[in-house]
Structure 1
Amino acid sequence: MILVYTHTITPRIRYIFKHILTRTLLIPVGFTSKVEEFVAHNGPKISYTKTPLGNEFFVKSNDLMFEQGVNDLDINMQKWEEVPCFFASGGKSAIPFDIFAASFYLITRYEEYLPHVKDIHGRYTAEQSLAYKNGFLEKPVVDIWAYKLLKVLKEKFPEYEYKSRSYKYVSTIDIDNAYAYKYKSLIRTFGGLFNDIFKFRLLNVWNRLAVVSRLKKDPYDTFAEILRIKKQYNARTVFFCTVSDYNTFDTNVSASKTKYKLQIKELVDYARVGLHPSYFTMQNPGILKKEKQRLENITNMPVLRSRQHYLRFNLPDTYQQLIDLEIEEDYSMGYASNVGFRASTCTPFYFYDLDFEIQTPLKIFPFALMDATLNDYLKITPKQSLGKIRDLRNEVKAVNGMFITLFHNETLSNYLRWKGWKRLYESMVKIATS
């Protein structure tokens, strides 16, 4: 165990020290504000305050860790051996910046509580983030800092037995549209047909008629292929299912359709299944509760994980709503427009509520990339995407983190805008699990 001395033990300090030392580096941590207890401790120890007590391992603390609420902070970037960092400490500090305050700032998404301009879907944008502005969005700097800290700790305390975690991969699949044409209502089927005819999309007309008349398999029905890849590469896979009412942004088949219910039940037999809360749940917790109950009625088991549709969430409101509904895991932490690490980490972490200054039971699983980001926002080819995926995987593997990807069942369809993308998913899983 590492004993940490600080003049005041705050919830912020307990939270971030446990994340960096225990969850990331697998080192148990204890806390004391008594100098005599700290001095008497024979094992590894860190003092975290304004001035060192002696010649111990000392990290100069930033005021952020002793404050409450959110304030507008001045952040000046620097480098720690080529790695961007901030909250410089200087003096007798063992490292040149306050790694704990900087990590806390990034992981809690402190900047998202400050005034900002939202995009058309009401989301915080990557371009406003510190990581984007300073060129480290595609690096899990919190984990990189942690491993650099580990190196310094090993030099200071060589006799301590350090454990190491292992790299993990999780493939997540969002089901926005389980089927392109099957099991839609007559109104939607004929409406879509006339729309395609009016816009002279004859290939769509043929495909719709062929699928509806059972001459052809529905292009979005790629679940058997995803499960085959899961089994072949032993990839942990989580499906997020939409069970919302129909609206402009949620166009899946109705959750009352027997075939869709059976498909969800089949997925539960082979993989983990979570809720994909619909577009308007961000403003309406009542809809969120209804959709959770709807999915639980289909699966006959509690819904413990979710990811917001369109990645729409507000901090801390959306996460507070998930906690109220006893959701344990959220997978929404990422940007639609950019790949990379929104919270600057590839380690799952517990949501820290800056409104109430507490660590909550909601565990956040940050993803590194989404198929729609590569295709729709970055507009790169499947081949170029594979290079980007490999780079991100390497970043995560270098710190033994968790590499999480977000794809849709539609991506494997090789249909319309996903033409040529089917092979990418299997190639990605192969790389990620190798």
Structure 2
Amino acid sequence: MLLVFTNKITPRLNFIFKHYFVRILNIPVSFTTKVEEFVAHNGPKITYAKNPLGTEFFIRSNDLLFEQGINDIDINVSKWDDVPCFFSTGETSTIPFDIFAAGFYLISRYEEYLPHVQDKHERFPATESIAFKNNFLEKPVVDIWAYKFLNLLKEKFPNYKYTKREFKLISTFDIDNAFAFKHKGLVRNFGGLIKDIANLRFLNIWARFRTILNFQKDPYDTYQKILDFKKNKNVETLIFILIGDYTTFDKNISSTNSKFISLIKSLGDYVKIGLHPSYFTLKNDEMLKKEKSRLENITNTPVLFSRQHYLRFTIPETFHNLIDLDIEEDHSMGYANNIGFRASTCTPFYFYDLDFEIQTPLKIYPFAFMDTTLNVHLKLDTKKSLNKILELKEEVKKVDGTFISLMHNEVLSETGNWRGWSNVYAEMIKD
């Protein structure tokens, strides 16, 4: 066990130290404010304070972990070797910055509580983040810092037995459109046909008629492919179902459609099913509650995890609503228009509520990329998309983290812009 001496044990300090040592480094940690207890400890130990007690492993503390509420903080990014860092410390500190305050700032999403310019969907954009502005969005710097810190611990305490964690891959799919053409009714199909004609999408017109007349399988019906990949590659797979009412931004088929209900039930036999709260649940907690109940009535099991449609959430309000509905996991932590690590970590963490200064029971699973970010927003071809995905995956593997992908069922359709993406997915889960 690692013992930390500090002048004051706060909820913030307890939260971020346990993220580093328990969740990333597999090192049990405890705290003390008593000098004699610290001196008597025979195992690994560090001091986290303004001044060292002696010549021990010492990290000079920033004030952030001992404050309450939100303050406007000046951030000056420097380098720890070749890794970006901030909250610099003095020369007496074993490392040149306060790794714990910096980690807390990033993981608590402190900057998202501060005034910022929202995008057109009322989201916090990547361009407002310290990670984007300082070119480390595509690196899980919190985990990188942890592993560099671990190397120094091993030098200082070589006899302690360290347990290495294992790299993990989680494949997730959002079902925004269960089917491209089928089960959408006459009006929606006629409207889609008019749009196809207006945009001269003749292949789409042909596919629409062939699908409706049962001459071919619906292009978005890729569920057996997903299940085959899961089985053959033994990859953990989660599926999030959009089950809200039809709106401009929510265009799945009706939740009362028997084919849709049958699909959800059959998928639930093989993978875990989560909720994909619709666009307007952002400001309507009753709608969120209704959709959760709707999905539970179909699956006959409690819905315990979710991901916001359009990745549309605000901190802390959205997470408060999820906690109130007994949701245990959220998978929305990422950006729609940029790839990378929104919270600068590839390790699942518990949401820390800065309004109430507590660690909540809601566990946040940060994803590394979304398929439409690469294909639609960044307009990368399959080769460049795969290279980006593998680069992100390699960054996670270096720190034995959790690599989470966000894709949609149409990514395996091999139609339109998604031609070649089945191979991209296969390569991503290869090992």
Q: Normalized against structure 1, the TM-score is what?
A: 0.98
Hey, what does 1:106 align to over in structure 2? 106
- Where does structure 2 lack aligned partners over 5 or more consecutive residues? none
Indicate the larger mover: 202-211 or 396-405. 202-211
1:47 has 2:43 as partner: no
Match of 2:122 in 1: 122
Q: Which secondary structure does the structure 1 equivalent of 2:42 belong to?
A: coil
Question: Aligned residue for 1:5?
Answer: 5
Identity %: 63
Q: Which residue of 1 aligns with 2:294?
A: 294
Misfit runs of 4+, over 4 Å: none
Deviation of 1:377 (Å): 1.2
Flag the 1:257–1:39 CA change in 2: closer, same or farther, 3 A.
same
Q: Please say if 1:69 is aligned against 2:69.
A: yes
Report how far residue 205 of structure 1 moved.
2.2
Distance 1:391 1:293 in 2: 39
1:127-276 equivalences under 5 Å are 127-276=127-276
- The secondary structure found in structure 2 opposite 1:350 is strand
For 1:278, the equivalent position in structure 2 comes to 278
Q: Which position in structure 1 is the counterpart of 2:25?
A: 25
| Superimposed CA distance per residue, residues 141-175 of structure 1 (whole angstroms, 9 cap, x where no aligned partner) | 00000000000011111111111100000000010
Decide whether aligned partners of structure 1 residues 190 and 66 sit closer, same or farther in structure 2, where only a CA change above 3 A counts: same
**Match of 1:320?**
320
- Distance in 2 (alpha carbons) for counterparts of 1:389 and 1:195: 33
Q: Distance in 2 between matches of 1:49 and 1:194?
A: 68
**Partners of 1:338 and 1:33 in 2: CA distance:** 43
Q: What amino acid sits opposite 1:44 in the alignment?
A: P
Q: Which amino acid aligns with 1:326?
A: D
The count of residues paired between Structure 1 and Structure 2 equals 431
Q: C-alpha distance in 2, partners of 1:138/1:6?
A: 33
| CA distance, structure 2, for counterparts of residue 149 and residue 383 of structure 1 | 35
For 1:409 and 1:14, the matched residues in 2 are separated by: 40
Whole-Å separation in 1 of the counterparts to 2:25 and 2:201: 55
| Equivalent residue letter for 1:19 | H
Paired amino acid for 1:181: F
- Cα deviations by residue, 1:18-43 (Å, 9 ceiling, x for unpaired): 00011100000111112222222222
Structure 1, residues 328-350: CA drift from partner, whole Å, max 9, x if none?
11110001111111100000000
User: In structure 1, how many angstroms separate the alpha carbons of the residues matched to 2:46 and 2:33?
Assistant: 12
Does residue 393 of structure 1 match 2:389?
A: no
Amino acid at match of 1:184: K
Distance in 2, matches of 1:52 and 1:215, equals: 76
Query: 1:383 aligns to what?
Result: 383
Aligned residue in 1 for 2:56 = 56
Deviations 1:280-333 (A, max 9, x none): 111111111000000000100000110000000000000110010010111100
The letter of the residue matching 1:407 is M
CA distance in 2, matches of 1:381, 1:198: 26
Deviations 1:183-233 (A, max 9, x none): 112221222223333444332222212111111110000000111111111
Q: Secondary structure at the match of 2:269?
A: helix
- 1:305 equivalenced with 2:299 (yes/no): no
Alignment partners' CA distance in 2, 1:199 and 1:27: 59
TM-score (norm 2): 0.98
Question: By how many angstroms is 1:252 displaced?
Answer: 0.5
Give the drift of 1:55. 1.4
Alignment partner, residue 329 of structure 2: 329
Counterpart CA distance in 1 for 2:103 and 2:311 is 23
AA in 1 matched with 2:298: I
Q: CA deviation at 1:419?
A: 3.0
Tell me the CA shift for residue 273 of structure 1: 1.0
Q: Which residues of structure 1 form unaligned runs of 5+?
A: none
User: Counterparts of 1:71-90 in structure 2 under 5 Å?
Assistant: 71-90=71-90
CA distance, structure 2, for counterparts of residue 354 and residue 229 of structure 1: 40
RMSD: 1.0
Helix, strand or coil at the partner of 1:270: coil
Q: How far apart are residue 79 of structure 1 and its match?
A: 0.8
Per-residue CA distance 1:107-157 (angstroms, 9 max, x = gap): 011111100000011111111111111111111000000000000011111
Measured in 2, the distance between the counterparts of 1:226 and 1:358 equals: 38
What CA distance in whole angstroms lies between the structure 1 residues aligned with 2:172 and 2:393? 15
